[in-house]
Amino acid sequence: MVYSCLISSLLLLLVALSISPSYTIKIKTASFLSPKQVMTPGSVADPFLFDIDFPRGHIGLKGFDAEVVDENGNPVPLHETYLHHWVVKPYYVRKGFNLSQLDNMPRDLGSSPADYILVRNGGLCRNRLRHYFGLGSETRKTSTYVPDPYAIEIGNPEETPDGYEFKWLLNIHAIDTRGVVDKPGCTECRCDLYNVTVDEYGRALEPGYKGGLYCCYDKTQCPVRNGFDNGNKTRTLYLKYTVRWVDWDSSVLPAKVYILDVTDSWEPSEGSTGDNQEHFCHVEYDVEPCKTNGGGCVDVKKKSLMMPFNGYIVYGVAHQHAGGIGAALYREDGETICSSMPKYGNGDEPGNEAGYIVGMSSCYPERVKVSYGETLTLESNYSNVIGHTGVMGLFYILVAQQLPEPESSLLVLFQAHAKSVSFLGFLAVAVVVLISAVVYRRQNREDGYQALST
């Protein structure tokens, strides 16, 4: 009787393990709309929006996705409104102070440091690339998911200075290309098309600057074909963004954001540590057209950078513009840590627009350790059958200081194989056979029987 109860209990345990949910932290999701942006054909919107709607509290970010939608919530295709980029940045602001009151400061937030404190990412380009998340035309089909059990920690009350509040800033850079005379030229921000000779602060452009961010800032205009804009094409757009997060607790492992830039001017020198102060990132560059005809026209740009951390790379993705054919991060011996390839659309519908990068592949390396002072090389490749202005070669990585603790308990062992019905079935049968054999042997001994020797 005792053995029958034992068998029944073990079988019930196995069944429970096979159907019980995995022990994971619940991921929360919420979608928000940015403040509205009024667009007309050829217009550029490049606002910095302070104190946007965002989950509050001590949380761990698991992902941030975004797309441009109209006032009815319909996705807007890239061939109508080109999303050059969006980025989100955290900051602390003194309680009672409205940061948007500051004049002429959105690019560098260059006002009184007593009123606000920037929260920068881990590096390397903290002079210009301070954000936590940011993508462009590829946003709809690029995974930003932070793998379990990691998350980006934000809102830790112990880190918030007294008298300040934690908030978020959103920058949207969108170009309305309906009816423009040169759509590729407008999206690549060619200075001659925008008729721009000074930047948004009135400073003269550097000699030889052909196109890029300094020529398509907020309120600039790309020329539209005669007769196209009849005054009835004004529309209201929004950036719809979806945030995924978990409540912070000890089971979540923190991962830091690092952004590498192929235009970084850092060079190794005696005593160099790879510290953020040693880096200056130009963010964009031009791709000159190749001088030969036919295939094989590829512009390859590389940058070797010293890593200022010890840790494990758990996520990576590149950001490129049209013409990009992929980027990679690898060690000095040539071992690839992560490669990120573009996906081009071949239709008209949102998320599949022909001629545009509509997605970049993300990578999730397993147990890739990087040591402090180690040199990694970033490579960004573009087709240069034709030339391009203002392209980018950024690479986002998430770095964790530790890996999950090894799990070896019997319960965890069962859970690790819970997805395999065949394993559980085999285990159940094995347990029953083993216990039945023990019971049979015990009963034989109690009845005076013994097994025959062979």
Task: Tell me the DSSP string of 342-388.
Answer: EEEB-BSSTT-BBTSEEEE--B--SSEEE-TT-EEEEEEEEE-SS-E
Position with higher pLDDT, 278 vs 32: 32
| CA gap 248, 111 in Å, rounded | 33
> Of 91-100, 175-184, 264-273, where does mean pLDDT reach its minimum?
264-273
Q: What does the chain come to in residues?
A: 454
Sequence letter at residue 402? Q
CB neighbours of residue 184 within 10 Å: 17
Dump pLDDT digits (tens) for 378-407. 999 999 999 999 999 999 999 999 998 875
Dump pLDDT digits (tens) for 231-246. 678 999 999 999 999 9
* Percentage helix, strand, coil for the chain under 3-state DSSP, each rounded to 5: 15, 35, 45
Structure tokens at 321: 């513009």
List C-alpha distances in Å: 450 to 1, 437, 439, 442, 444.
22, 14, 14, 10, 6
End-to-end CA distance of the chain: 32
Dump pLDDT digits (tens) for 401-450. 999 887 543 344 334 444 344 444 444 444 443 444 444 444 444 444 33
Dump pLDDT digits (tens) for 245-291. 999 999 999 999 999 999 998 887 766 666 666 788 999 999 999 98
| CA gap 375, 308 in Å, rounded | 10
What pLDDT was estimated at residue 275? 65
Any residues with CB less than 8 A from the CB of 312 and at least 6 apart, and which? 365, 367, 368, 369, 370, 399, 400, 401, 402, 403
Arithmetic mean of pLDDT, 298-319: 96
283 touches 332 (CB < 8 A): no
What pLDDT was estimated at residue 272? 67
Q: What is the mean pLDDT of the chain?
A: 84
Record the pTM: 0.82
